[in-house]
Structure 1
Amino acid sequence: MPCNASPPSNALINAARAANLLLYPTADGGLVLTEPTSDAPVTSLVYGQHLLSYSVIDEYKLRFSEYVVKGFDHDSSVSTKGSAIDDEFTFFRPLHIVADKYGQGVGGCDRRAELERNRRKARAHRLELEVQGWQSPAGLWAINSQVRVVIPDERIDAVYLIGDRTFKLDAQGGSITMMQVMHREAFIGEKVPKTKAPAKAGKGKAKKAAKKGRKKTPKTVINPGE
């Protein structure tokens, strides 16, 4: 293996980013590569009823006004470039990214820039929650499941996606679940619509006419033994 080879973990992370998918471990030691769930919330968590504590995290230092991704498409031997804008910024603070070898096809840099913008929005605005117990009405609290969070003092009443969770057990508090939640939309890059090349005028009709006037030739079967 070359000394500059990327470790398997980085290869999985880069592939997940390029495909706009979530990558997280399972309880039995496996890995799941999937899209963020669109299922209904498993339950509602209201501060004062279900939440023991919460933290609202806003880190604008993680965000930038513009995300510029530059790369190189080895198949066509051309340089590629994509960008995404954060409309909530009123001053110029760009971030330039050198793209890896994944997702360098048509529109790959644009999707990479959009995904970077959305992920940074998610990390910049997130909630850290502490709830009693390890289970929701649907079973154990699970990553990639949605939950409705209501915190009146913070004017929060929205559906969030569980991006991380930790189970704790101690003599004082008993079983406690610590979870980090973010908006689902922040995990999804904008999809580029597929466009079809316009057909040349008259070409389709000419093909149909030629096919109609062509006589069918009988099939010839050749036996190797003859």
Structure 2
Amino acid sequence: MDTYPLPDLVTIAPAVARHLGAGWSAQPHQDSDWSKTAFLVHRDGRRVRVSVDPYASGPIRQQLTVRGSEPEPAPEGATRELDGISFGLIRCAGTKSPERVAKEIARRLLPKMAAAYETWHAKVEQLREQETLRWTVAERLAAVPGMSQPARPTHRVSALTPWSLHWRGPDRGGYSTTPRASVSVDAGRHGEHVELTLSGLNAEEAQRVLCSLVAPGGRPALAPGR
């Protein structure tokens, strides 16, 4: 018999959940079992992961590792933007009573989780607003006659991938003389930004494009030859 048996999460986790108060329940990890990992879940979305290390030796085997988890799956592709948010981590003795463990979690972990959740939700909301802006701008540009519908590359689609559109004008006898436009629509903290690549323009078309950038809404005359 091991001198330092692993804490029995099958009985500890539900008991800790009860001592945490109304709204808390215990669930096994979807890829593990009660003996290694359990989640304490609140009906408001908070999730606390409780685990033991079966490979540890000595007194450490009886230690509970308790860490906060993100409240819901992050938007696809948003891992990098949400990196760095710590939901808190504490360790406590699994030999303590479930009531003592619950008090440790409430005192040392839940306040850190509350601050982290606020930051996480704010960032997720910001990412969703940016995606709404991307799509709004892409739809607006897709209304230009001849423009393709917005699309994303199939090999790296996520909620953060820019929308791409393409336009091709009438054939003027060759690739280099046929007007084309490639558009990439993205958004960030400072609003939308659009990359526009043009090719195959003649001098008059290029002048019109440049004039619209210099004086939006107007077409100031350029001196001949310039």
TM-score (norm 2): 0.23
TM-score by length of 1: 0.23
Higher strand share: 1
Identify the structure with the greater helix proportion. Answer: 2
